[in-house]
Amino acid sequence: MVVTVNGEERDLAPGSTLSDLLQQLGLNPKVVVAQRNGDIVPREDFPATMLADADIIDLIRFVGGG
């Protein structure tokens, strides 16, 4: 299936979850805010959020600095 992540199309295996996507991208879910089709997904729901073909995912990663 194909999903759009931050404007870029990505191929994912059918049945992939939001957690699977983050793992594939090498992102720590503790520092990511995710939207799926315009709706914010609570962090605790990442493992249960099944992705579907044509989903639009927006990811924002927090970066510390000083």
- What homologous superfamily does CATH list for 2-61? Beta-grasp domain (3.10.20.30)
Q: Which pTM value belongs to this model? A: 0.90
Per-residue pLDDT reduced to its tens digit, 3-25: 999 999 999 999 999 999 999 99
Q: Where are the domains of the chain?
A: 2-61
Per-residue pLDDT reduced to its tens digit, 11-60: 999 999 999 999 999 999 999 999 999 999 999 999 999 999 999 999 99
In whole angstroms, what is the distance from residue 42 CA to residue 53 CA? Answer: 21
Q: Say what the pLDDT of residue 64 is.
A: 67
The more confident residue out of 34 and 64 is 34
In whole angstroms, what is the distance from residue 30 CA to residue 62 CA? Answer: 9
Q: Say what the pLDDT of residue 26 is.
A: 96
The helix (H) or strand (E) run that includes residue 47 is none
